[in-house]
Structures are given as C-alpha cells and as structure tokens.
Amino acid sequence: MLFLLFVNVVVNYMDRSNLAVAASDIGSELNFSPVELGLIFSAFSWTYLLFQVPGGILVKRFSPRVLYAASLIAWSFATIMQGFAKGFASFFGLRMATGAFEAPAFPINNRVVSAWFPDSERASAIAVYTSGQFLGLAFLMPILSKIQSHVGWKGLFVVTGLIGVFWGFIWYFFYRDPLKHPKANKAELLHIEHGGGLLNRTAEKPAHPKKKFDWTDLKEVLSYRKLWGIYIGQFAVNATLWFFLTWFPKYLVDYRGLDFIESGYWASIPYLAAFLGVLSSGFLSDYLIKKGVSAAKARKRPIIIGLLISVFIVGANYVEAPVWVIFFMSLSFFGVGFASITWIFVSTLAPKHLIDITGGVFNFIGQSSGIIVPIAIGFLASGGSFTPALIFIAALGLLGACSYLFLVGNVERITSRHDLEPLNN
C-alpha cells in the first residue's frame, strides 16, 4: 500500500513540474513575459487551494480506492490537453483544471497512512510516500528534458498525462482499505489499531452513519493556536518547494546560462538532496520516539532544523560557478526534505473527528504558497535579477521555523468537546 502511495506522489508531482521543464520553450514560442509565466505557474494552485476543504469533505464520504483513481485519471487527462494549449488563457485554464482534480490527493494520502500504520510507524510511512515528490523528480528531470528534446513541449504533456491515466487504473485494481484487504490478518489489524491506527470500521458498524459536514467543524480547526503553527509552517515548506517546481529549471537556463539538457541533470541534484532529507528526518523521528525521546523533540526538531537549513538558498546569490549554485540549492532543498514530515502533525494534533477537515485546511494554507510564490517571483525577477526572489524565499523559511518554535508548543492531541461527549454521557 505504501508503494502505491509513493508512485501516486511521483505521478502527482510529475504533472505539477512538467510545466517548469517546458517553461523556457513555451515562453519563447508563445511570447510569455516573466509575469505571465508566474501567473501560469500559479494557476494550478488557485484551484488546488480552493478545493482543499471540499477535497477533505470528499475524502470523508468516498473510499480512497475510488476517489484516488477518479482524481488521477481526471488530472492526467487535463495534463494531456495542455499539449494542445494555444495561448495564455488556455494554459491558465488547463492548469487550473489540473489543480482542481489533484486537490484530494494528499488528504487521501493522510487517510490511508492513518488507517494502515500505528503512531510509532507513521512518520516513517509519511517520509516514504513524501519522498516520492523528490526521488521521482530527481530521476524524472533529466528524462523529462530528454522527452521534450525529442517530441517537444506539446509531446511532453501528452506523454506525462498518458502515464497518469494508466496508473489510475493500477491504483483502483490493487488498493484496498485494511479491513477489506484479503492479506491483512487479524494480528495485523490489532497491531494497527492498538498502536493508534485509525481503522475505518464504519463498514463493520452500519448502525453508526458517517458524520455529515458541519461548518462549525471548519471554524473549530481554525481556532487552535497549535494548528495555526503547523499551517504557517506548511506554507513556508511549500514556498521553497514551489520555487523548485516552477521557476528552478528556468532559473538555471535563463538566469544562470546553462544548456537546456545540461540543466535537467543539474536540476536533479537538489531533488536527490531533498529525498535524503525527508527519509533521514522520518526515520530519525520514529527512532527517537522508540528510544523514549519526547514527541515534542522527536517530531518538531527535524522540522525546525530543516526550515532553518532551507534559508541557505540565499547563498546562491553570492556565487557564480554552477557547482556552487547547485550546492546552495541542494542544501536548501535538503532542509525542505528534512522538514517535510509536517503531515505527521495533522494526525497527531488534530481532534480525532476532525483529522480529514484539518488535513484539508492544512493543505489549503500550505498550497496558498503555490499562488503567492510563483507570482511574487515573476514580479521580483522581472527586472532581470533573481537576487530579490531568493531573499524572499529564504525569509519565508525563517518564518516557518519561528511558527513551530513559538506557536505549536507541546505536541499532544487537541481534545474538543465532541471527544468528551461519550465520557459525559
């Protein structure tokens, strides 16, 4: 099940980043300015952000097997259609469609991991599937560059879209929830449940219908300081990530003068660094928990340290040689990877009955960086220098570290009045 999630994330980020690979050719052919490219880069996040809370609601109502398959196939079809875009409006609209259909993906990931893994193994599981966005792109960047060199930017969108459609059917064929999986025996289910895994037992208890969405639930998850700490932190982590998903290849080609094919190989190095960061963070965090280290130290410290390391992206402003540019980029992206176990705090801090909605809000606020950062970079770089843009990204990393230091506090699940009702009765 974890392998399936890993590949889902690879496909997910492949279809987010293919535009970044094609950006220089698209900009030249269609005469897009840096500001227009920034707007197109942001288009995905407009709908991805707007559909996060509705996506969280859908995750509560439909099984991961059905919803993820439908989401994968739909966003992959939108990706294929980008190969036939003729101008700014069509590109913007199709990127918005891709974002809308990808919106339920990470809330589904969190639901699947919460169901399949006990608390002591969850950070490692999140680290493994999250690493898909880095490891997959590390190897895909050179491949995507090669594909484009052979079939052009239009063919690049068609090829990547077809891969996603195929994988959507694979997910539907193989995925099952724990209680419905033929190979999940009673001992494994007890291990998951006794360890804090949130098995979906509604199928076994039809007398207890699913709780309908209530707007007071949304108000509640916006009322806790701890949750605002992780919301702001996620915005900061995603800010650096979105630079790499959008402007990074164009930065190497147009602002650092690298050859297009060569830039694909250089661009893969920071993704490998991020992959190492996210894996080392997740396994180190679970190891510390098993050794008796408090959750506050084991979960928070990797995120804080990672966000502080991400600030080193600003060092690229003060070097000229490509190897040193990539060094600072890789160091920064390692920090982002090291901080990327942030989803653990959704299932650790949120009230149990609000985990899905909290995940939607968490991703909503985090993904708002996908709108703000690409547009801001477009304006900051429109004068011909990328220096202000990298300073901007570094400042957001520092803000994220401060949010975990001063807002999250003790790492313990928030208890709401809903959770106390059975005791009061």
Domain boundaries, the chain: 2-189+216-420
Quick one: which of 14, 63, 329, 349 has its CA closest to 167? 14
| CA 394 from centre of chain | 19
pLDDT of residue 121: 75
316 in Cβ contact with 266 (< 8 Å) = no
CA distance 159 to 109: 25
| Domain 2-189+216-420 CATH class label | mainly alpha
CA distance 375 to 243: 10
pLDDT of residue 263: 66
pLDDT of residue 206: 42
List the alpha helices (DSSP H) in 206-321: 215-221, 225-246, 248-250, 260-290, 295-310
Question: What is the chain's pLDDT, residue by residue, as a tens digit (425 residues)?
Answer: 888 888 899 898 888 888 888 888 888 888 888 888 889 988 988 898 888 778 777 877 788 888 999 999 999 999 999 989 888 899 899 999 999 999 888 888 878 887 878 777 777 787 778 777 777 778 888 888 888 888 888 899 999 999 999 999 999 998 887 777 667 677 777 767 666 566 654 433 444 455 565 677 677 778 778 888 889 999 999 999 889 888 888 888 878 877 655 666 777 888 888 888 877 887 777 777 777 777 667 778 888 899 999 999 999 999 888 889 999 999 999 998 888 777 777 777 777 677 777 777 887 888 788 889 999 998 898 877 889 999 999 999 999 999 988 888 766 676 666 655 554 55
DSSP string, 95-141: HHHHHHHHTTHHHHHHHHHHHHS-HHHHHHHHHHHHTHHHHHHHHHH
Q: Whole-prediction pTM value?
A: 0.72
User: What are the C-alpha distances in Å from 315 to residues 82, 193, 310, 329?
Assistant: 35, 46, 10, 8
- In the numeric block, the tokens 């000229």 are attached to 320
CA distance 161 to 81: 8
pLDDT of residue 203: 37
pLDDT of residue 201: 46
CA distance 170 to 381: 42
335 in Cβ contact with 303 (< 8 Å) = no
CA distance 140 to 101: 22
pLDDT of residue 180: 73
pLDDT of residue 295: 66
Reported as type and span, the H/E element at residue 71 is helix 64-82
Query: Which tokens in the block code for residue 388?
Result: 């202000």
Number of helices followed by number of strands (H, E) in the chain: 20, 0
CA distance 32 to 92: 12
326 in Cβ contact with 157 (< 8 Å) = no
CA distance 105 to 366: 14
Please calculate the CA angle 192-417-119 and round it to the nearest 5 degrees.
20
6 in Cβ contact with 57 (< 8 Å) = no
156 in Cβ contact with 22 (< 8 Å) = yes
Query: Which tokens in the block code for residue 103?
Result: 């919106």
Residue 15 has, within 13 A of its CA and on its CB side, a CA count of: 40
pLDDT of residue 210: 53
Query: Which tokens in the block code for residue 8?
Result: 């889902």
Core vs surface per residue 233-269: b (16+ CB within 10 A) or e: bbbbbbbbbbbbbbbbbbbbbbbbebeeeebbebbbb
Instruction: Please tell me whether residue 244 adopts helix, strand or coil conformation.
Output: helix
CA distance 183 to 180: 9
CA distance 371 to 376: 9
pLDDT of residue 420: 55
pLDDT of residue 35: 87
CA distance 337 to 225: 25
pLDDT of residue 392: 94
Count of CB atoms situated within 10 Å of the CB of 33 = 12
CA distance 18 to 144: 7
